[in-house]
Amino acid sequence: MEILIYLKGLKYSMATISSGAHTRKIGRKLMLTLIIAFLLTFLTVAANGYTVEIVSVQTTDMQGNPKTEFKRGEFVVVNVKIKSLLTYESQDYLLIVQVKTPDERVIALGFTSGSLAPGQEVSTGYGFKIPDDAPTGTYKVEIFVWNGWPAIMGGNWKPLSEKETTTITVTT
Amino acid sequence: MNKVVLALIVSFLLVLGFKGILAAQAISVSVTTDKDVYYQYEMVYITVTVTSDGSPVAGEDVGIQVLDPDGFTVYTDQGKTDNNGEVIFYFRLNPNAKCGEYTIIATVTGGEGEGKFRVVPRAIVGGEVNQINKLELLPMIIANNINLIVLIVVAVLAIYIVSQRILENNRLS
């Protein structure tokens, strides 16, 4: 017997349990474990519908020192720590970092992709150089975690987490 | 006991599955911009409307991706629809943004929509004009009006010659 979960159109295959005198005992234990795992996952996911949590976002210099004030021409590293909220299967992710100037222009847009095992926490990020002629002021650093690009995923697109925003200050 | 639990789980999963399938089939996504054509460095406002069987869908996550004429991503964003099923995104085009047709792709789980807009070079709306001495403009004025000046000179000479001849004839008579 195969247990399948359909959630928002996505199919989650939990396990296949074979029937038979010997395997029935193991099957009951396994089923109980699966039910508990399913309920825990369902309760977590149902709370907001997201399957990845952005644990932290931190901007640093090239040496890894945390800072939020940068000069024109300097490099900024955006470190993002994400965690899978799924407890029973892996999931692929696309993490996008977008940086906007005070006048809402996109001056940096980078991405990274990978796979998260159940409950796994991963540190990733993106670095960019502030142009020498960039305007001074407060810049928005936006982080998105999706299951893929909208242009590729179409109707199967899904955000895996809430959008996260932080700021940096650029001076002369 | 196990059978009861199993039956409950199967029923629950079936309900969830059907609900997901039905919801996914009916969703419609429309994309509009405040203008069809933008200058470089102009703000672009994009409205995405999500409906299900004609009714607005509130609280739906919308992902957006804007591609330049060469297919490179220049802007992405994520937002939630309001009670009217709408979410508004905005960004400013770079001063050196590529000119041509841009494509907007908006997606929700179970639906997608597409929009287009064009970017044209920014019109020059200002500049600096130095004070110029009027005498410096004299050669340019002469060059531009040389035909008129020659005509006036010839006319003056002709009038002078004719008037001299008239005066001379009067004197002789």
Q: What pairing do the DSSP bridges indicate for beta strands A164-171 and A137-146?
A: antiparallel
Among B5, B6, B92, B83, smallest CA distance to B46 is for B92
In DSSP terms, B100 is beta-bridged to: B119
Contact residues, B window 83-142, toward A, CB-based 8 Å cutoff: 90-94, 105-112
* Alpha carbons A14 and A37: distance in angstroms, whole number: 10
Highest-scoring range by mean pLDDT, A31-40, B33-42, B121-130 = B33-42
Section B44-53 average pLDDT: 97
**Which two structure tokens, joined as six digits, stand for A13?**
């295959």
In angstroms, the separation between the Cα of residue A143 and the nearest Cα of chain B is 9
* Alpha carbons B34 and B77: distance in angstroms, whole number: 17
**Residue A47: pLDDT above 80?**
no
B91 vs A47 pLDDT, higher one: B91
For B96-144, how does the pLDDT look when each residue is reduced to its tens digit (9 = 90+)?
999 999 999 999 999 999 999 999 998 766 555 455 555 665 666 677 6
**Residue B24: pLDDT above 70?**
no
Section A139-166 average pLDDT: 97
Q: Do A153 and B107 touch (CB under 8 A)?
A: yes
DSSP A134: P
Q: Do B92 and A103 touch (CB under 8 A)?
A: yes
CB burial of B9-46 (b: ≥16 within 10 Å; e: otherwise) equals beeebeeebeebeebbeebbbbbebeeeebbbeeebeb
For A100-137, how does the pLDDT look when each residue is reduced to its tens digit (9 = 90+)?
999 999 999 999 999 999 999 999 989 999 999 999 99
Q: Do A155 and B92 touch (CB under 8 A)?
A: no
Percent of chain B whose predicted confidence (pLDDT) is above 90: 55
Q: Do B21 and A9 touch (CB under 8 A)?
A: yes
Find the closest chain A residue to B78 by CA distance.
Answer: A163
Section A64-90 average pLDDT: 96
pLDDT for position B25:
53
pLDDT for position B131:
52
The size of chain A, in residues, is: 172
For B58-91, how does the pLDDT look when each residue is reduced to its tens digit (9 = 90+)?
999 999 999 999 999 999 999 999 999 999 999 9
For chain A, what is the total number of helices (H) and then of strands (E)?
2, 10
pLDDT for position A55:
97
Residue B91: list chain A partners with CB under 8 A: 100, 104-106
Angle between helical axes of B2-26 and A23-48 (0-180°, round to 10): 40
pLDDT for position A39:
60
**Residue A67: pLDDT above 50?**
yes
Q: Is A109 in CB contact (< 8 Å) with chain B?
A: yes
Q: Indicate the pTM of the whole model.
A: 0.69
Section A153-171 average pLDDT: 97
Q: For residue A52, what pLDDT band results from cuts at 50, 70 and 90?
A: very high
Q: For residue B2, what pLDDT band results from cuts at 50, 70 and 90?
A: low
**How confident is the prediction for chain A on average, in pLDDT?**
84
**Residue B163: pLDDT above 80?**
yes
pLDDT for position A30:
62
B57 vs A13 pLDDT, higher one: B57
**Residue B32: pLDDT above 60?**
yes
Among B68, B91, B59, B64, smallest CA distance to B76 is for B64
**How confident is the prediction for chain B on average, in pLDDT?**
84
